[in-house]
Amino acid sequence: MSDDADFEELAPTLELPSRPRRNRRTPALRNMVRETRLDPAQLVYPLFVHSDAEDTPISSMPGQTRWSLKGLVKEVKRAAKLGIDKVVVFPKIDDKLKNETGTEAANGKGLIPEVIRRIKAACPDTCVITDIALDPYNIDGHDGIVSDEGVILNDETIAMLCEQAITHAQAGADIVAPSDMMDGRVGAIRQVLDDVGFTDVSIMSYTAKYASAFYGPFRGALDSAPKASGSKPIPKDKQTYQMDPANVREALRELELDESEGADIVLVKPAGPYLDIIRTLRDATHLPVAAYQVSGEYLMIKSAAKAGWLEERAAVMETLIGIRRAGADIILTYFAPQVAEWLE
């Protein structure tokens, strides 16, 4: 072979009737055959709120804010202009309002009912979703009531969750989202909502919520991690009610129960490490499937991007497309406003 041989003359012409690269050749072609699409209408924006007068940056979640009531309404308006018309709100409750049974959760004049009323007054078309669980209100930091023996009480907790759900519905919530993982809570909440006339309030159940290591930044934002408050033993984690990360079939069992109890939407949390669970539920139900890209997933991308190891926009979009491709119809993500701007 001579040094100046023409490479094109040496390259073979393959007789290939099918060349997949033809469909990848230009942006227009790639867009035409794209199988999975992302739209702002599929996104839910999680927001943190406190009763303080000032908005406070959240150190455990760079780029996120613990909003004042005034700041929260302003942020909801901003999101709505970007096409993000669904929010889920999480409260940081003042320690002096917390007790062992989380009764502040059912206070009709409390923080979340006031948040709902203000959002609905300012943005009536925004869908307001509320978290139904006791960990922000419970001095022990658990989603349920802790007995003197250190056991998370199932049925007693559900009684309080039902009161909480009614309080949120009365304030104008569109969807209540029980995230506690107590047995039977979807059916109990559905029954009490119907009994008092809130048949149109939907339930988005945290159907497969795993006992994950990826919740740490969120608990920092709400100061809601389990902690001892007195002499009684407090479980250091939530493994007796949240699901074992090793289990798949158990998610199907939870799905069957939630469907039978009246859930309108089922949710998988976290999203990224549990794409197989999203697909499993998607294949097993006709209900909409939601997935929560949680605080740990958010922080990993933010930290890597800040260090220069990832390009933030590309990484965010790839992870969200992956969640959609796995079968999620709805994604809860802290990146929602950014994604809406990028898509625009």
pLDDT digit string, tens, across residues 270-323: 999 999 999 999 999 999 999 999 999 999 999 999 999 999 999 999 999 999
Q: Does the pLDDT of residue 227 top 80, yes or no?
A: no
Mean pLDDT of the chain: 94
What per-residue confidence (pLDDT) applies to 2? Answer: 54
The Cα 221–Cα 58 span in angstroms is: 6
Domain residues for 207? 38-343
Supply the pLDDT for residue 7.
60
Residue 215 lies in a domain: yes
Asked if the structure places residue 185 within a domain, the reply is yes
Q: How confident is the model at residue 8 (pLDDT cuts 50, 70, 90)?
A: low
Calculate the CA dihedral of residues 94, 95, 97, 99 and round it to 10 degrees: 150
Q: Taking the CB of residue 29, how many other CB atoms lie within 10 A of it?
A: 12
Beta-strand pair 152-153/145-146? antiparallel
Catalytic residue among 86, 92, 269, 302: 269
Query: Quick check: 9 pLDDT over 80?
Result: no
Mean pLDDT of 102-128: 97
* CATH at residue 238: 3.20.20.70
pLDDT confidence tier of residue 218, bands split at 50, 70 and 90: confident
Specify if 15 maps to a domain.
Answer: no
Q: Which residues contact 78 (CB under 8 A, 6 or more apart)?
A: 337
CA 321 to mean position of chain CA atoms: 16
- Taking the CA atoms of residue 245, residue 246, residue 249 and residue 253 in that order, the dihedral angle to the nearest 10 degrees is -40
CA angle 163, 220, 162 (to 5 degrees): 10
Task: Say whether 131 sits in a helix, a strand or coil.
Answer: strand
pLDDT for residue 254 is more than 90: yes
Q: Are 115 and 83 contacting, i.e. CB atoms less than 8 angstroms apart?
A: no
For the cut 80, the answer to whether the pLDDT of residue 11 exceeds it is no
Among 98, 209, 238, 302, the active-site one is: 209
In a domain, 251, yes or no: yes
Calculate Rg over the CA atoms of the chain.
Answer: 23
- The answer to whether residue 19 is domain-embedded is no
86 is catalytic: no
Q: What is the pLDDT of residue 242?
A: 97
Is 265 in a helix, a strand, or coil? strand
**DSSP string computed for 180-249:** S--TTHHHHHHHHHHHTT-TT-EEEEEEEEB--GGGHHHHHHHT-S----SSS---SS-TTTSBPTT-SH
Q: Is the pLDDT of residue 3 over 60?
A: no
Inter-residue contact 186 to 257 (CB < 8 Å): yes
With cut-offs at 50, 70 and 90, classify the pLDDT of residue 4. low
Please say if the pLDDT value at position 205 is more than 80: yes
Which SS3 state, helix, strand or coil, does residue 141 take?
coil
pLDDT category at 100 given cuts 50, 70, 90 is very high
Reported as a pLDDT band with limits 50, 70 and 90, residue 216 is confident
- Specify the higher pLDDT residue, 251 or 60: 251
Q: Is the dihedral of CA 324, 78, 119, 99 positive or negative?
A: positive
Query: Which of the residue ranges 14-23, 174-183, 217-226 has the most confident prediction, judged by mean pLDDT?
Result: 174-183
Q: How far apart are CA 65 and CA 221, in angstroms?
A: 9
Q: What's the pLDDT at 13?
A: 83
Count the domains in the chain. 1
At 222 the pLDDT is 66
Q: Is 269 a catalytic residue?
A: yes
Q: Which residues sit opposite 57 in a β-bridge?
A: 65
